[in-house]
Copies of this chain bind each other. A is one copy, B any other.
């Protein structure tokens, strides 16, 4: 199965994976959340090849995750900003980070504070209906007949 074919399969995880499931894409997005918006910024901070980066930025722009904005004229210069669709990947980033914090690192290099309450935040998944914490065991999954 080709990587792009994942995008056609009837599974939300696989389709998302077809977009971000390669070596660099998610790290480029993470870098954008961190405040990097320009080509050379991404390139230097990540150490990713210029051709790869060029390709990813184009794909992510086409996908609607980045918006390419001109921030200067003559010569024209562009930067990449996350769209709402891109921002909505934040929960993915956050859960990746929390797992890494827990299992792959001693001292988490990033701390998140919740602006509203001012406290160190460790976001957690709760049921939208009753507000209880949810994990794998507390949910039951129902698969459509044609689910991949």
Using a CB–CB cutoff of 8 Å, the interface residues on chain A facing chain B are: 1, 3, 6-7, 10-17, 19, 21-23, 26-27, 30, 33-34, 46-48, 85, 87-105, 107-117, 119-132, 134-136, 138-144, 146-148
Q: Are A126 and B126 in contact (CB under 8 A)?
A: yes
Kindly list chain B residues whose C-beta atoms are within 8 Å of the C-beta of A144: 107, 109-110
Q: Are A15 and B107 in contact (CB under 8 A)?
A: no
Q: How far is the CA of A85 from the CA of B3 in the complex (A)?
A: 27
Option from B13, B15, B123 in Cβ contact (under 8 Å) with A127? B123
A103's nearest neighbour on chain B, judged by CB, is B85
How many copies of this kind of chain does the complex include? 2
CB of A18 to closest CB in B, whole Å: 8
Interface of A is mostly: mixed
Q: How far is the CA of A119 from the CA of B139 in the complex (A)?
A: 10
The 8 listed contacts between A and B (C-beta, < 8 Å) are A3-B23, A12-B97, A13-B26, A112-B141, A116-B130, A120-B129, A121-B134, A123-B134
CB of A63 to closest CB in B, whole Å: 9
Q: How far is the CA of A134 from the CA of B90 in the complex (A)?
A: 10
Kindly list chain B residues whose C-beta atoms are within 8 Å of the C-beta of A107: 144
Q: Are A104 and B19 in contact (CB under 8 A)?
A: yes
